[in-house]
Amino acid sequence: SWIAPDGCRDLICHQAPSAPPRWFVSDLDDHARTVVLAAGHTAAGWRLRPGTAIETDALLASLRGCEPDADVVQARLADFASVPAAVAEAIAALTDAGGSTGEASSTHRVTAAAADLGVAPRTLRRLLLSATGRPPSFWLMLVRARRAGRALAGAASLAAVAHAHGYADQ
């Protein structure tokens, strides 16, 4: 499977034949990657919202030996994962400021998002770096890519979609 960066981390259960389930939390992807499962192996995953803070060691310890049961996993995620309100607000502000075209610079959009939040752009950057390990520019890039991806489902040509979303080529 081809995995595109989407700003989310995932809780994944990998099961090999005749082996106990192996649980892990994915990294936040910066680039697309390909995941290949060997024959007979299965994987189940739970997508976490962008900016989710995870008590990874405690979460994985609580799932050790568990089968991938949705009710159990949701309960454990409620105990060990959450999105801090300030981070959710920051990402939402960047999404709103992201625009669909390249008409405004990344710096301008970060400044606009920070103003909407009532903080300085530097404060917004520090918040996102400390909470997610990624700067505001990363989140703006994802906003642009997601909007362009949604536009691909329409009737517009690849060149038109690329131009409308500020990409140099299709």
pLDDT of 92-106, one tens digit each? Answer: 999 888 665 555 678
What pLDDT score was predicted for residue 50?
93
Q: How far apart are CA 121 and CA 84, in angstroms?
A: 19
Tell me the per-residue pLDDT of 40-89, one tens digit each, with 9 for 90 and over.
999 999 999 999 999 999 999 999 999 999 999 999 999 999 999 999 99
CA distances from 97 to 17, 73, 113, 148, 167 (A): 47, 34, 6, 15, 17
Q: Please tell me the pTM assigned to this model.
A: 0.83
Radius of gyration of the chain (CA): 19
Angstrom distance (rounded) from CA 48 to CA 125: 22
Cβ–Cβ under 8 Å, residues 143 and 6: no
pLDDT, one tens digit per residue, over 15-44 is 999 999 999 999 999 888 999 999 999 999
Sign of CA dihedral 137, 12, 52, 100: positive
- Across the strands, what pairs with 58? none
